[in-house]
Structure 1
Amino acid sequence: MVALFESYNARFVDPSTVAETFILRDREFSQLCEQNNSLLIGPRGSGKTTLLKMLKVGAQIAWKNRRQSKALRRFRFAPIYVGADRQLDFIVGNLHLNEANRNSLDLLKKSLLAFRVKFACAETLHEITATAIRDQESVSHQYVDVSSDPHAVWRSISTVWEFDKEALTYLEVKTNLQFQLQLINKYLNLIKYGETVNVRELIEGGSNLAHDPIQACQSFVDAVNVTIGQPDKKWALCIDEIEIMADDLQQYLFSCLRSIDHRIVLKLATSPFSGIDWNKFNTPRPMAGHDFTVINLAYRDKNLARRFSGQLLEAIIAAERGKGSDKGTPRGRDILGSSPIAEANSTEAQKDAYSSPNGDHYRRFSRLAEEDVAFRQFLTDRDVDLDQLNQLSEKKRAGLRKHIWQVAVRLEYGPTNVFSRPDSSLGSRSPSRKSVSEIYLGYDSLLTICEGNPRTVIGLLRPLVRLFLGTGKRVSASEQARVLEATYAKYFSLLSTIAVADPSRKRQTMSVIELIDIIGEFISEEVNGHVFKSEPSLTIRLDRSTPKEYVEAIGHAMNQGAFVMITDESELHDFGSLDNARLRLSYLLSPRYHTPLIVGQAVKLSTVLTKRKPRQAPRTLTAGDLFFGISDEKN
């Protein structure tokens, strides 16, 4: 079984391949191309790496779309892409170190980042001095002519990076860097096997180990710009996935957004939440909107997210069919069919959706009014005559339109089945909760559930495209439900690895799944409870009464896409802090908790926690959770 989040990861794909399937996000890409520092924020799979890699010259060459190529010409900087890795963590991450080795390791972490910057700088110079790009219209502006003395620029670099042996070519620069890396490996192995290595010993062993990542880039820019006779040439240092770096490196890079060489702009990519405690650092925090531009890849606008997901789906269809197919190209709606719920009057059928007796909204509202006492009372209190829905003013109809999803979900999962208790009182139970309702299926709903996240689109929709292409028939609701269940079950398996520190200290192990369950079940009760609420609470606010342990765990879950930030205290979706942030659960979790695909009112998380406590013992994932996404709990 292939995990959802292993289905596609641009980190492991070369830039030219990334470019072949790239779908341009115009607004975000335009912001990224601006001549200022940028902080690219988004949960896992949202496309941060893809966007940064699309700035590389190799990707620009493969970008064949004329409109996209025109967008690239706005990017006047020479792009230096630096990928992150966790190899060091795998080597020494679990070791118990003495103070000397901890200090040495801090230096080596920074030195390794400096080496990655150097390799990336050399690769960029190799790309932009290649004569092959001189005649490529989309990237010709990046070309640097060194034909008069091709060795001079590499000779200058070998001087500023303190090579023992002068380098005259790109290959020789890489060889020298690899040789210097061997020294780092030597010291890491000494630390790994219990030897004490102090900072003085490191620096005396090789002064290049004390090189700073940003200064390494600045010395490169100095050497190259002087050699090619362009002293003010601009460069973009694009560093990816800084969230997987050590806190001090994250803080260091983020602080550089405040002040850096005027010839260099920083383009940093990270997850939306960071656990960095800025109070322990003496460096002032950079200010969003002043020192850098925030580019948030998490869609707040559902329509924009759905549109982008639709574009990705069409690209998947084209890729899966192959270039040699002589059949007509199917569209996403041909494969998935329309969803039962369409919120806007986007089709001819929807224009009459409120009309009696066959309008979709009319029939749904009427059925719930017959079965649900609470909804019937809601209509009575507001003097709403369902038979006159189509005659209502647009303003009054809009007041009911916001309840379309709520009514549909309540029909499936609300307390519409009345029964008598042994004490003669009346109770009610919901319909079966063991399957995914059709309201979450079909083209419109599945695109909404994907949230505009490329990895989710690929993981969820590509299997359905392949089913269609294999049979030639529209994918059935049961098959869509099966794939959707499997998708969010895999997602839960990923989230279950995020630990939560119990604020009460009564439990040693606790998973963020328990917090998500508490929030999801609370929201479900808001929609499907015994009272029909006109303004149900469908979002949470992380107020200051929420335990910091819970805030941190929710932040890490947000980095994985389980929560979407609607706004934070600064109104800028700033990096790091979640103080007073308003969040909603990912729509991918809506089928599990039976919640509508809409944004509702906010409730304080501390209020939710007073009504629903974490279980004394964690609920284990069942076979249904892991393989089918079906809970074995009783109704």
Structure 2
Amino acid sequence: MSRQTFLEPFNAKAMSYYEVARTFVPSTKFTQLAGAWNSVLVGPRGGGKTTLFKMLSVEGQEAWTGATAEPYKQTVGYTGVYVPSDIAWGTMLESLIEAGQDETIGVLFSEAAFVTHVLLSVASAMDRYAELNPVLRLEPGVDNTTGKPTQADLERVVATIAKLWKVQPVSLSPTSLVDALRERLLDIKRDARLRAKLKHTGRPNQGYLGIDMLESASQALQAFDAAYRRPDHRWCLLLDEFEVAPMHLQKTVLAAMRASGAHKLLLKVALAPCGPDLLYDQQGNALPSQNNDVQQVQLWYADKTEAIEFCQQVFLSRSSNYSALAGKMPNDVFGTSAYAVVDDSEDVAQLGLFTLTGRNKKQVTEQFQALAQKDPTFREFLHRKQIDLSLELGMQPGDLNGNTLRKVAPLVAFRNAYKGKGDGKKRGVKPFNAAYSGWESIAAISEGNPRWLIGLITRIMSNSDQIHFPVPTPQQTAAVQWNCQRYAEMLQSVANEQFGSIKTSTPIYDVLSKIGDYFHDRLVRATFVEDPPMSFIVDERVSDDVEHALRIAVNHGAIVCYQIAADVGGFRTLRGLRFRLTYLLAPVFKLPMRKSKSVSLSTILEAKPDTPVSLDDPAANLAEKSIQRDLWDN
């Protein structure tokens, strides 16, 4: 196997449409997003928002071939126009205000840059369609008897669009429209810069100011489709990374989604889970509502079975290019892990991890016996549950205490690895790496995030020319630990401000560390229980400053919410919501990957280190009552 990068870690923004389409794996998220309706795509950094938008664009649809592509293509029903973000939309507004210009002037120039950016993408899509569907070029005086559009039809359309958009193309062709709009972008940036530097006052009179994005694009596309004899055709703007746009642009676009559903133009917007659009008072702004106006899609998985299935498809889409992996499933390459327990499911795949035979059965029994020798609270638990370690342990539903043993087995292994012989003490720092190898663990750690998954597998496979499988556990765990530490280091350097509106004086990683250390202490030092807390609820005692730190953590995927975001665009508030640390931080804080009961965040933050850990948390009990029961049952 080549020592070159195994699965090519990627950032779809910098990749061509062909490169994105070559290994694209459609998921249920893609199906929810792709339909002919307005959509808001919410997800953390690296969650795959750009990939999904590029695959819905006309270029992505052209590049996507093969048997799996056709069923999806038939359901799209529109031409997608990919619109990448541009930080100039915001910096232009900021620079004008800093130079003493009226905010209204800054908003006008910022909107002009945004609208021109959108129209440029629309013109490029029309140009591409015209290239693939050439018009008839008739000699003068010859009648058109085919019903197909002619060169004269196309020129009339371009002239109409140029008038609508206030541009002067050098020729009446879609390509000239593209060139004219590129020139306009330069003009807008130059005019805004000169106005700021020369401190011009008074009303600006540039013709490009005040053009409405939705109307100008819709009317142009109606004219274009009429020329091509397809008046009922629909288009869709795919506005990527829209959280970087100024708040006034987000207001404008989100409000437009209420009215655009029955028109020529659909809107799909990608946003961070906690963006500036959620911090202003939306009442009275007639913004869209979920289900009625928009389909909101969240790029995180409450159902881990679905996430693992998606991870498997990502693996297979890329591993087929490597001869040593041909025909192999992920479990063949990485083995299995009985420690990747993320819920209490009793499906066949989950139960299969706990089929104790031979050496594995001996290891599990030894873990139980070793912990019982040094932990009196565990011995009391065994006595209360009437579990006799001198008997053979079985973890299937039909075995004596099978469900209980299966549920606590990973906890026993973690606690035994880190607990010292003294009461409430922890032993050395040697990590319990066995929990972070095997396919189930790798898939769980990736959270269904394709970039994270690819990064994990790349690191595992790039250390040697692997031809014997499964990959040795030390090689897996070393690679996983390396990736997780790099992620933790990134979080330590994350800025305490995002989008100019989410600001905190509390370092983001400090909050995460307090949470992770608290959970580890509850797992190792407190009285042994079947379900130690591994999740938290942001209660009312948590300060706004800490909540803002958590908002930034959400945007980076560092914490995962158990609930669906109630507001269009993500979470307007985190209070009352239940979260857990991302499993990508589990190896860093020495935690198992599982669902569990919760504790209030204020209790975590107020806990003092190196003190006995209380198992009682009245604040958490009150908070838990506000959580819907079905969230606990998933």
TM-score calculated relative to the size of structure 1 = 0.82
**Is the alpha carbon distance of 1:572 and 1:393 closer, same or farther for their aligned partners in structure 2, counting shifts above 3 Å?**
farther
Contact 2:157-2:224 at 8 Å conserved across structures: yes
**Is the alpha carbon distance of 1:167 and 1:528 closer, same or farther for their aligned partners in structure 2, counting shifts above 3 Å?**
farther
* Structure 1 Cα separation of the partners of residues 334 and 200 of structure 2: 61
Aligned to 2:142: none
Aligned to 1:195: 198
**Is the alpha carbon distance of 1:356 and 1:57 closer, same or farther for their aligned partners in structure 2, counting shifts above 3 Å?**
closer
CA shift at 1:62, angstroms?
2.2
SS at match of 1:243: helix
Contact 2:93-2:110 at 8 Å conserved across structures: no
Aligned to 1:150: 154
* Structure 1 Cα separation of the partners of residues 92 and 431 of structure 2: 44
**Is the alpha carbon distance of 1:74 and 1:520 closer, same or farther for their aligned partners in structure 2, counting shifts above 3 Å?**
same
Counterpart pick for 2:408 among 385, 388, 403: 403
Q: Which amino acid aligns with 1:29?
A: F
Aligned to 1:616: none
CA shift at 1:234, angstroms?
1.5
Aligned to 2:117: 116
SS at match of 2:602: helix
Query: Residues 86-105 of structure 1: CA distance to partner in whole angstroms, max 9, x if unpaired?
Result: 24556786787144254333
Counterpart pick for 1:173 among 158, 171, 177: 177
Aligned to 1:535: 531
Counterpart pick for 2:381 among 358, 378, 381: 378
Contact 1:412-1:437 at 8 Å conserved across structures: no
Aligned to 2:507: 511
Structure 1 residue 450 and structure 2 residue 446: aligned? yes
Structure 1 segment 444-593 matched on structure 2, within 5 A: 444-469=440-465, 475-500=471-496, 510-567=506-563, 570=566, 574-593=570-589
**Is the alpha carbon distance of 1:365 and 1:500 closer, same or farther for their aligned partners in structure 2, counting shifts above 3 Å?**
same
Contact 1:77-1:236 at 8 Å conserved across structures: yes
CA shift at 1:126, angstroms?
2.2
Contact 1:355-1:389 at 8 Å conserved across structures: no
Query: Residues 237-259 of structure 1: CA distance to partner in whole angstroms, max 9, x if unpaired?
Result: 11111112222222222222222
Aligned to 2:45: 44
Aligned to 1:302: 304
Query: Residues 186-222 of structure 1: CA distance to partner in whole angstroms, max 9, x if unpaired?
Result: 2232255x32245722xx1x22132233233223223
Aligned to 1:368: 371
Which 5+ residue runs of structure 2 have no aligned equivalent? Answer: 136-146, 498-502, 610-634
More divergent stretch after superposition (483-492 vs 395-404): 395-404
Contact 1:538-1:601 at 8 Å conserved across structures: yes
Contact 2:375-2:421 at 8 Å conserved across structures: no
Contact 2:407-2:530 at 8 Å conserved across structures: no
Contact 1:374-1:531 at 8 Å conserved across structures: yes
More divergent stretch after superposition (94-103 vs 444-453): 94-103
More divergent stretch after superposition (212-221 vs 267-276): 212-221
Structure 1 segment 45-60 matched on structure 2, within 5 A: 45-60=46-61
Counterpart pick for 1:16 among 15, 18, 23: 18
**Is the alpha carbon distance of 1:575 and 1:78 closer, same or farther for their aligned partners in structure 2, counting shifts above 3 Å?**
farther
CA shift at 1:109, angstroms?
1.8
More divergent stretch after superposition (98-107 vs 112-121): 98-107
**Is the alpha carbon distance of 1:65 and 1:306 closer, same or farther for their aligned partners in structure 2, counting shifts above 3 Å?**
same
More divergent stretch after superposition (389-398 vs 168-177): 389-398
CA shift at 1:553, angstroms?
1.5
Contact 1:155-1:168 at 8 Å conserved across structures: yes
* Structure 1 Cα separation of the partners of residues 163 and 286 of structure 2: 34
* Structure 2 Cα separation of the partners of residues 496 and 225 of structure 1: 51
CA shift at 1:133, angstroms?
11
Structure 1 residue 159 and structure 2 residue 163: aligned? yes
Provide the identity percentage: 24
* Structure 2 Cα separation of the partners of residues 150 and 330 of structure 1: 53
Aligned to 1:423: none
Query: Residues 331-389 of structure 1: CA distance to partner in whole angstroms, max 9, x if unpaired?
Result: 43344333353656649975642899936544433333233222121121222234264
Aligned to 1:336: 334
CA shift at 1:433, angstroms?
2.3
Structure 1 residue 228 and structure 2 residue 192: aligned? no
* Structure 1 Cα separation of the partners of residues 468 and 360 of structure 2: 35
**Is the alpha carbon distance of 1:147 and 1:529 closer, same or farther for their aligned partners in structure 2, counting shifts above 3 Å?**
farther
* Structure 2 Cα separation of the partners of residues 493 and 253 of structure 1: 36
Q: Which amino acid aligns with 2:85?
A: A
CA shift at 1:39, angstroms?
0.9
* Structure 2 Cα separation of the partners of residues 486 and 351 of structure 1: 28
SS at match of 1:578: coil
Contact 2:340-2:435 at 8 Å conserved across structures: no
Contact 2:243-2:271 at 8 Å conserved across structures: yes
Contact 1:243-1:271 at 8 Å conserved across structures: yes
**Is the alpha carbon distance of 1:169 and 1:604 closer, same or farther for their aligned partners in structure 2, counting shifts above 3 Å?**
same
Structure 1 segment 20-419 matched on structure 2, within 5 A: 20-25=22-27, 27-87=28-88, 97-100=98-101, 102-131=103-132, 146-147=149-150, 149-165=153-169, 167-191=171-195, 194-198=197-201, 200-201=203-204, 204=205, 206-260=206-260, 262-275=263-276, 276-279=278-281, 282-319=284-321, 321=322, 325=323, 328-339=326-337, 341=339, 343=341, 346=349, 350=353, 352-353=355-356, 358=361, 361-386=364-389, 387=391, 389-390=393-394, 393=398, 396-413=401-418, 415=419, 417-419=420-422
Q: Which amino acid aligns with 2:126?
A: L
**Is the alpha carbon distance of 1:190 and 1:66 closer, same or farther for their aligned partners in structure 2, counting shifts above 3 Å?**
same
* Structure 2 Cα separation of the partners of residues 534 and 348 of structure 1: 18
* Structure 2 Cα separation of the partners of residues 402 and 80 of structure 1: 49
* Structure 1 Cα separation of the partners of residues 364 and 569 of structure 2: 36
More divergent stretch after superposition (264-273 vs 207-216): 207-216
* Structure 2 Cα separation of the partners of residues 496 and 339 of structure 1: 30
Contact 1:38-1:292 at 8 Å conserved across structures: yes
Query: Residues 108-132 of structure 1: CA distance to partner in whole angstroms, max 9, x if unpaired?
Result: 2211111111111112222333437
RMSD after superposition: 3.4
**Is the alpha carbon distance of 1:223 and 1:443 closer, same or farther for their aligned partners in structure 2, counting shifts above 3 Å?**
same
* Structure 1 Cα separation of the partners of residues 366 and 540 of structure 2: 44
Q: Which runs of 4+ in 1 moved over 6 A?
A: 354-357
* Structure 2 Cα separation of the partners of residues 418 and 152 of structure 1: 86
More divergent stretch after superposition (364-373 vs 389-398): 389-398
Q: Which amino acid aligns with 1:50?
A: T
Contact 2:57-2:238 at 8 Å conserved across structures: no
* Structure 2 Cα separation of the partners of residues 90 and 456 of structure 1: 30
Contact 1:460-1:483 at 8 Å conserved across structures: yes
CA shift at 1:312, angstroms?
1.6
Contact 2:533-2:598 at 8 Å conserved across structures: yes
Query: Residues 169-188 of structure 1: CA distance to partner in whole angstroms, max 9, x if unpaired?
Result: 12211121122223212223
**Is the alpha carbon distance of 1:74 and 1:198 closer, same or farther for their aligned partners in structure 2, counting shifts above 3 Å?**
farther
CA shift at 1:450, angstroms?
0.7
CA shift at 1:463, angstroms?
2.3
Q: Which amino acid aligns with 1:116?
A: H
Counterpart pick for 1:430 among 426, 433, 443: 426
TM-score calculated relative to the size of structure 2 = 0.82
SS at match of 2:120: helix
* Structure 1 Cα separation of the partners of residues 257 and 399 of structure 2: 49
How many residues align? The count is: 578
